[in-house]
Amino acid sequence: MSGLFLDVAFWACAASAVLHVLASAGRRRLLGAMGLLALIVGAAAGAAFLGREWADIHRPPLAGRAGLAVAFSFALAVFHLLFLRRGPVVPLLAAAGMGLAVLFAAPAEPPPPLLGSARWMGVHVGLCLLGHAGFAVAFAAALGRLVRAGGTHAVCAAATGTLAATLLVAVGAALLATRSGAAVLPPASSLPGMVAGSAFALAGLLVWPVRWGVSRRVAFEGEDAGMDRAVDRSMLGGVLALGLGILAGALWAHETWGSFWRWDPKEIWAAFTWLLAVFYLHARFARGWSGPRAAWIAVATFGMATFTFLGAGSLRGGMHRFLE
């Protein structure tokens, strides 16, 4: 049954991405509303998958790649529905996450005993994922804001979006190539899903140049202030969630390892990410920065969050390596 939830989540998010692309290009409100509805269905199916897995393994399903990918996609959808509600980037990311989960829908190996506290794992990993999702949504909104600004900002934003989409495809391909852990090759019946998922991810390469071109013709993203507000609120949510996640991790580490802070690479880079996000808030709310200058900080924050999530664990040992 949980596999059915996962399939529904993937197809709903993919449909949402398509509808958002069409709505953005043609400025059709009905298509946009349908895209949001599809995303709600996808998020609900993702939540049902997580709930079912949790009930099956009696701990939050956040120690395996499938569970992490679904939880991240779910968090993305929630932030998108709360603060952004436009543009295909977030539904595309959510669909990619759900697609990866479909490919890795194998039983997750249990975490090592030092990480065996189900209570803290759910709180710490869940909050950190939520924070990263907030920064991802802020990133999408900030790119939209930069595209609207035009000129050099728009060119750089389009390049950044293309780079992000390329990295997304590369990470997905690398994960597929290694198939480490208890990964399962997709059965024949899900091949269309695989093909569709890859096609959507590759379509991300084209999204930003197209949007840049379109933005010259129609104001499809709404007012600048609306975009700024979406970035602000997503960053606020991200700062709150990641901050609480780091603090929860400190309490967990103290309980398990006997110290609140161990200068672990992931701890350091997560703190760096959080501080950069706080700097964004300070610049916006205390210093009154606006426009592209602030938007670039949001873009940089997401870049750092991505490095923290995917790369920091491989720097040197550390206690966050059990998933790599």
Partner 1 sequence: MRSVWRFLTSPRPGFALAGAVLAVSAFASFLRPEIADEKVHRAKWFAGLLAAMSTAVVLSAVKRLVTLSVRTLGLLVAHVGALLLATGAWIDFRSGAHGSIDAPVTPGEVYDGYRLRGGRTVEKLPFQYSLETFSVELHPPRLWVLERTRDEGLRKEQYAVRQGSRVSSRGYVFTVEETFGTLRTVEEAREASAKPPHAAALVRLRDARGAVVRETWLGGAGAGAASVLVPPEESSSPRGFRLSYLGCGPEEPPDLEAPVPDGPRLFVRLRDAGVTRVLPAVAGAAVFVSDRYSLRVESTTFDFQRRAESDEVLAPVDPAACVVIAGPSGDEQRWVFANHDDHGHGQKYPEVGMTYLFPEGGPPVEARLFTMRDGEVYRHEVYLPATRTRVVLALDRPVPLHPSGHAMELVRFLPDAVVSRREVDAGSRLQRPAARVRIEGPERRETVTLVVGEPHLLKGRDFFLVYAYRDGFEGDIREFESRMRIVEGGEARPETISVNRPLSIGEFRIHQDVSKEPESGKWQSTFRVVKEPGARLETAGILVLAAGLFLSVATLFLAGRPS
Give CA–CA dist 139/90, Å, rounded.
9
Give CA–CA dist 86/138, Å, rounded.
12
Give CA–CA dist 318/262, Å, rounded.
9
CA distances from 286 to 48, 184, 281 (A): 41, 50, 8
CA distances from 192 to 7, 83, 135, 169, 187 (A): 12, 32, 31, 17, 10
Residues 159-178 that bind partner 1 (CB under 8 A): none
Residues 299-318 that bind partner 1 (CB under 8 A): 312, 315-318
Closer to partner 1 by CB, 23 or 129: give it.
Answer: 129
Closer to partner 1 by CB, 41 or 239: give it.
Answer: 239
- Please give the DSSP secondary-structure letter assigned to residue 110: P
Is 184 a residue that touches partner 1 (CB under 8 A)? yes
Is 269 a residue that touches partner 1 (CB under 8 A)? yes
Give CA–CA dist 320/313, Å, rounded.
6
How many residues in the chain?
A: 324
In this chain, which stretch among 13-21, 30-38, 212-220, 257-265 interacts with partner 1, using CB under 8 A?
Answer: 257-265
In this chain, which stretch among 33-41, 146-154, 213-221, 227-235 interacts with partner 1, using CB under 8 A?
Answer: 227-235
Closest distance to partner 1 from the beta carbon of 34 (Å): 24
Give CA–CA dist 150/123, Å, rounded.
41
**Selection from 215, 202, 160, 183 nearest residue 100 by Cα:** 183
Sign for the pseudo-dihedral over CA of 58, 63, 65, 68: positive
Closest distance to partner 1 from the beta carbon of 199 (Å): 21
Is 51 a residue that touches partner 1 (CB under 8 A)? no
Closest distance to partner 1 from the beta carbon of 258 (Å): 4
Is 244 a residue that touches partner 1 (CB under 8 A)? yes
Closer to partner 1 by CB, 191 or 218: give it.
Answer: 191
- One of 232, 295, 296, 306 touching partner 1 (CB under 8 A): 232
DSSP result, 261-286: ----HHHHHHHHHHHHHHHHHIIIII
Is 1 a residue that touches partner 1 (CB under 8 A)? yes
Is 263 a residue that touches partner 1 (CB under 8 A)? yes
In this chain, which stretch among 165-173, 196-204, 205-213, 231-239 interacts with partner 1, using CB under 8 A?
Answer: 231-239
Is 65 a residue that touches partner 1 (CB under 8 A)? no
- One of 182, 195, 199, 310 touching partner 1 (CB under 8 A): 182
Is 124 a residue that touches partner 1 (CB under 8 A)? no
Using CB atoms within 10 Å of the CB of residue 74, give its burial: 0 to 12 exposed, 13 to 18 middle, 19+ buried.
buried
**Is the CB of residue 322 less than 8 Å from the CB of residue 266?**
no
Rounded to a whole number, what is the distance in angstroms from the first to the last CA of the chain?
A: 28
Closest distance to partner 1 from the beta carbon of 113 (Å): 5
Is 240 a residue that touches partner 1 (CB under 8 A)? yes
Closest distance to partner 1 from the beta carbon of 243 (Å): 5
Residues that bind partner 1 (CB under 8 A): 1-7, 56, 105-107, 109-110, 112-114, 116-117, 180-185, 187-190, 229, 232-233, 236-237, 239-240, 243-244, 247, 250-251, 254-260, 263, 265, 268-269, 271-272, 275, 279, 281-282, 284-286, 288, 290, 312, 315-318
